[in-house]
Structure 1
Amino acid sequence: MIGRASTDSPPCRFTVLGPPGLNCYGTELDLGSPQQQAVLMLLLVNSGRFVQVGELIDGLWGDRAPVTGEAVIRTYISRLRRMLSGHGLGSAIRSQAGGYLLDPSLFVLDAAEFADLVESARREHTAGNVSAAADHLAAALDLWTGTALAGVPGDAAERERSRLERLKLTATQELLRTRLELGEHAEVVAEVPLLIEQNRLEEPLYEIYLLALYRSGRRAEALEVYRTVYDLLSEEMGVGPGPLLQAIHEKILRADADVHDGTAVPRTGSHTARSGQVPGRGFDRQFIGRDAERAVFRAMLEGRERSGPLFVCGPAGIGKSTLLRKFADDARASGRQVWHLHDLDASERRERLEQVADELSTAVGPVLLLDSFEEFGDLEHWLRDEYLWKLRGAAIVVVAGRTGPSAGWLIDPAWSGTFTLRCLGALSDAESAALVEARGVARELRDSIVDFAVGSPLALSLAAEVGRSLPVAGKPSRRDAVRYVVDNVIALLVGPAPTAAHRWALHVCAHARYTTEDLLRAVVPDGQAEELFDWLRAQPFVETAAHGLDINGVLRESLEYQLRWRDPVGYEQMHRRIREYVMGGLLRDVRDPHGSVAVMRTIAHLRRRGGVVPRYVSGTGDEDLQASTATSADHGELIAMAREDHGESAAASVRFWLERQPNAFHLLRDRRTKRLRAFMSWLLLTAPAPEELAADPIVEAIWQDVSRRMELPAGAHVSVARHLFCPAGEAEPSFITDAFQARLMRGCLHEPGLAASYLVLSNGKFWRPLLEYLGHHEVETDHPNSIFGHDWLAPPPGEWRDRHLDEELWAQRRLNLFARQG
C-alpha cells in the first residue's frame, strides 16, 4: 500500500487509529488494562523525550489523581517493560530523573503513516496529479479501524483522540473534494449525508454536498440543503453560512456552469511593511505549536471563516509577533499578497496605514497583519469606525495586541458577530520540549528549561539560547545564566514599574496564591492598596480569579527568584506578613466552604517550597456546597451516614454526642440537591461526665492523655474533632477535606481558651505524615481509629506557625533552571 513502511522498517508497529495495539514480529501483544494503555499512549505521543511521572499522573487522572498515583504509574511501567522484554524490546522504555522515555526508533506508528500519506497527497495535488492524490488519501483513511484510541481513558487520551479524529475528518473532506475533481459526483452524494449526521456543524461538508448535488443534476435538492443548513446555523450558533457556502449557493441559484469549491487563488506578489514595501522572507523553520490559530487563519484564506478581523491577544512574550510572521508565510504560500505592519513610529502610523489602504485596493487576495495594536490607542476609534470597516470583505485582516479589542468593538452593532478573537495561552509541555530541542539545547538541560518556562515562548527562547552556550568552556556560570533569563523575562513581560511600591505589589502578587486589596493593605505600606490593586488588575499578565488576582507561569517564578537573591531580608519579611495575614485574619474570619478552601490552598501555596502540607491540599477542583450547623431535623441523616460508612459503633457515638452537644456538628450539603455530603463534630470538653467517658472509649482515651500531659487551667478547655465523615474523600485530599482542614486550623489557632486539640481519624496512616509535620503526637490506643493531639499550652501559636519557616522560604524548587538532569 502507498506509504507503508519499507522492508527495513522496525518489525514492531503501534496502531492508535482505532483500538490501541502493538504487533511485534507478527504477534499481537496484550497491552494490559485501559489505564496501563493510557500510560503507554502518553509515552508514545511524547516519543523521544522523557515524560515526568507528574505528567503521566495528570494525563491519566487529572485533578482526580489518587495519592498512590505515582506508585500505580511505576507499576504500569514495570508491567509494560516486562511485556516488551518478552519480545526483545527490553530497552524500549528508559527512565531518568523521575521520568520515562519510549524509544521511537524501535517502532512504526500508524498515525505517522497516516500523516505521511496525507502530506504526499497534498504534494501530488499541488503538482496536478489529482488521481494519485486521491489514492494516497484513500490509503491514509484505510489505516483507520475505528475510533482513535478506543477504550483508552484519561484527559490526555481524550485530547489526543480529538486531535486524531479531527485530522481524519480533514483528510476525509480533502478526499471528497478530490473525488469531485475526478467527476465522482454521484458517489460523493451517497457518502456525505452520513458524515453530516455525525458532524452537524461542519460547514465544509455542506459545501461538498451542495457541489456534489448540483453537479449530479440535483439543483433543487442542493437549494433545499442550503436552506436547511442556514436554519441550523442560525438556531444553534446564531450565525449565517460562511462566505464560501454563500458563494456556492449564489452560483447554484444562477445555474452557473463553473460552480467550484473556490479554493484556487491566483499566485501574486507578497509584501511586508515597516516603512516600505519589501519582498517577504521565509519564516524560521523552528516555529512550534499554535495549530488552532493557524487553522482559523487557514479557514480565512480558504473563505471558510467570517470576513471580519481576526484578533490575536495575549501578554508580552506569548508569541503574537512570531505567530503573525507565520501567518505571513502561510498567506504567501497560498498565493496572497501580504502587508505586515509592525514597529511603526507614532508619527508615521496613520500615514502608512492610509498608504497601505490604497495599495490594498488594487491587490488580489490581500492580507493585512497589524502588530502591537496596544500602541495604536490614539487611532483605535478611527481604525474601528473608518479604516477597518472599509477593508471588511476586501482584505483578510489580523490584529495582534496584548489586550484584544476594547469594549467599543464588543458593543458596536456594526461589528457584532463579525470578528474572531483568539487568546494565546502557554505552549504545552510537548510543544515546549520541541521548541527547546529545535533550538539545539543539550538533552540534559531540556527538562529543567521546560519546567521553568511553564509554556512561555519568550522564556523558552531566552533559556534555550543561554542553555546552548553553557556546556562550552568560558561561558557564563549557571547562576549568572539563570539571572540573565529571569531579568530579561521580567523586563520584557512587565517593563519598569512606576514606583517601588508598585514593584513590591508585583512581588506580593507572585508570592501569594491570591492577591486582594485587603492583602496589599496588610503587606505593602503607605496606604496605597487601592491604587496598587487597580494597577495590578490592569496589567495583561495578571489574571482576575474568583478569590483575587493571580500571576501564573514563568513570570511568577521569575519574580520570586529575583526577589529571593536581590533582597532576601525583604523576601522573608514579605512572606511573614502574607503568612500572618492568611493564618490570622483570613483564616479567623472565613466561614463558607469556598472561602475556606481558598484559604487552605493559599496556605499550601505559601508552603510549596518545602514540607508535606501541599500534598494534603487538593489544589484544584470546586464543588457547590453550603455549610450549616446541625439541627434536630438533621440528626437521623447524620446517624444513617455514620452507620452506612463506619458501622453501628460510629452511629451510636454520633447519636450520643448529638444529644449532648448538638451545636458541635457541622454539615456540608450540596447546594442544589441538598444531599448531605459530609459532616464533622468539634466537641468541647472541660471535665467530661463519667457517663460520657463510659459511652465513648475514644473520648476516654483522649481525656486520659490530657490528664497525663497537663493540668487544665481555669476557663480552658479541650476540643476534639471526634467525627470527620466524608465518605468520598477520606483516602485523598478533596474539596471537602480542604474545607474541614480550614475549620480545624481556625479552631486550633483562634479558639479562645483552647488548651489542647485532638483529631480522630479512620485513615490515620494516610494523614500521619502531615500531623507529625505539624507537631501532633499520636495517642496509643487499641481502637482501630487513630488519635492525634497537640498541647497548645506548651508552644505558643506564633511559634507553632513558624515551624519549618526556613524550609518554606529557601528550599529549592523549579529555580535551578540549568540543573543537569541525571
Structure 2
Amino acid sequence: MAGERSGPATLADRLRQARRRRFVGRAEELELLRSALACDEPPFGVLFVHGPGGVGKSTLLTMLAEVAEEAGARPVRLDARTLEPTPPAFLAAVRALGGDREREGARTVLMVDTCELLAPLEEWLREEFLPSLPATTLVVLAGRHPPSPHWRADPGWRELLRVVALRNLPPRDGQALLSAAGVPRRLHRRVLAATHGHPLALSLVADVIAQHLARRRETAEPPLPLGDPHVVRVLLENFIDTVPSRLHRRALEVCAHARFTTEELLRAVLEDGDAHELFEWLCGLSFIETGVHGLFPHDVARDVLDTELRWRDPASYHDLHRRIRGHIVAQVQRSTGLEQQRRTADFVFLHRANPVVSRFWDWETFGLAHADELRPKDRDPLLAMTELHQGPEQAELLAFWMDRPAARILPIRTAGEEEPIGYAGMLALHEAGEPDIAADPGARAVWQYALRNGAPRPGEQVWVARFFMDREHYQRPSPSQNVVTTRHIQHLLSSKALAWDFIAGYEDADFWEPLLRHIDYHRVHEASYEVGGRRYGVFAHDFRRLGVEEWLDLMSDREIGAEAAPPTGPAPELVLSRPDFAEAVRAALRDLHRDDRLAGSPLLRSRVVRERGEPVPDTLRALLCEAAQALGADVRDDRPYRAIDRTYLRPAATQERAAEILGLPFSTYRRHLARGVERIVDWLWTRELQGP
C-alpha cells in the first residue's frame, strides 16, 4: 500500500530490536517461562533467578518480559533499589502498576529485580504477599543470592518454586555476543579466555572497542589489557581513558557517585555541556541501567569508577561530592513525606565510604528495620524494654511523654514483626510547656543549658533526642541505630529555624563520643543528668553558629578528607559456565602435581574452592582428590576410579602404561577414564551450584 512505512513504529520498538540484537544465550531460561505461560495451571508459581554481579540478571528479566508479552501476558517489573524494604512501600509500588491483579483476562507476570535488597521482607513475601496473588500469576525474582532454606523447608513452596543459578556465558554464546557487538573475530579467543564469558566484561570489551574505532584507529589493535584477573576493573579504567570528552568522563563520574542520575542532576553538577546529550550517552553504555528514579551503574562498575576517581584525583572527587550533595540537599528540603525519605536515602548513600562513621553502623542489618507511627498496642512493649534496660523511673518518663504532643515517639519495626524491636523519642522543647519540661530531669537539664548558653528567640526550634534503644542490643550498633541515624539526618535537613539540637539519650556517652564529635556535636558535661541512678551524657550543636548548610560543608570536608588508597583485594568469585567449568577441571587434573600451573586455574576463583579454604593450589588439589575418592566409594564399579588413580593421582609415565598396569585394552581404559573425569566434573559442579 502506497505511503506505508516499514520498520519500528516507535522508539520503544527500536530499543527492543537493539536489545534483541545484543542478547544471546539463556535459551533454557526463556523456554522455562514460555512453557509455563502455555499452561493453564503453571508448573511453578515463582521462578527464582540468582547469580553474582554482572552475570546478566537484569538483562534476562528484560527478555523474559518480552517472552511474557509475546505469550499475551502482562509483565509488571519492579526494581528493589527504588523501594523502601517495608510491606507498605512494596504493596504501594505493586498496586501502582496493577501487579496484584489480573487485567482484561491477561495473565500477570510480576518481576522483581535486585531482590537481595528485600531480605527484610522475605518472610512476609513468602508467607503473605505471594500466596495472596491470583493463582494464574507467575512471579520472577532475581537477585545475587539463592533463596534461603526456608523456601525449601515448606512442602508447598518446594513444589511451586523453580531455582535457576545464572552462570557466565558458554564459549559459543560469548562469541555470539562479541559478534553482535561488532568485535573483530580475531579478538574473540583472547577476550573469552580473559573474561571467562562474564557478560558485563564482554559488554565492556565491546564498549572499549567502539570508543577505539570512533577515534578512527581501525587498523590499530584496541588497547585491551586482558591479562589482569580484575578484568572488569581493567576494562573500566581503559574505557575512562577513551571516552569522547572530558565532559563525558565527568558525567560518568557523577553517575558512579550519585545513587541515581537524571538530566536535572547533570545540569546542576556540570558547569557546561549538553545535559541531554550526556544523559543519552550514559543510557547507551552497557553497564548503565535505568530505573524509575534515573540511571545507575552496575554495582561492580560503580565501585570501580568511584574508587578510582577518589584515589587518582581527591580534589576533583571532593568537588564532585559537594556539587551532588548540594543538589540532593535542596531536593530534601523542598520535599515531604515518602519523597523526602527517598531523597534522604540519596543523601545517606553519598557517605557510604566514610571510615569514621561506618563503624558505628550495623551494615549487615542495614535496611532491615524502619521507623513507624506509634500505635496504642506499642505502649506496653516500649515501656517493658525501657524498664528492662533503664529501670522503672525512665519507663515512667517515657509513659509521661507518650501523652504529650511535644514528643515524637517512633517505634522501630522489621518486616513481618508487629512488635517493635526498638524505638526513638525526640522532644520539641520549643513546643513543650514549662511544667512538662520540669517533670523530666533530662528535658530540664537540656533546656536550662540552652537558656544559659543562647536562649532561643521567638520562632526558633530546640530539639532533643531524649530516648533511644534497641530491644536486643540496647544502645550499641544495631538495626535500630541504623534507623535513628537516618531519621536524624532527615530531621536536620528538613527542620526550619533550628537553633539547638541535642542528643541526650546515650548512657555510655564515652562510646559514642568519637562519632558525635566527628559530626560536630560537642559533649556538654554540665547538662548531663541522672534518672534512676543511671547517668546520661548530652551532646549539643548550636545551628545558629554553624548552620545546616555550613554543617553539611564541614561533614563533606571530613568525609572526603580521609586518605584514599588504590583499590586492592582478592579477585572476585568467578561463575564459569558448565562447559568452561568442565574444561577447567580437566586441565586441573592434568596439572594436579604442578603448583605453578594450578596457581593459574580459574577454579581458584570458583565458589566450590573458596568455600573449602584459601584459594591456593593445595586447596584445589585436595578438593580434586576428594572428588576422585568419591568415585572409589562406588562398590558396584570402581573402574573409573582406578583409571583416574593411575592417570592423575599416581600417574604412570604414559596413558598406554596406565592401561597396561590396569590390565585393560587402551580403548577400554580411555572409556573408563572419560567416565571418571565426567563424574568428577558432576560432583564438583553440584557443589559449585548448591554449596558443600
TM range (shorter): 0.3 to 0.5
Structure with the bigger RCO (C-alpha within 8 Å, sep 6+) is 2
Q: TM-score, normalised by structure 2?
A: 0.46
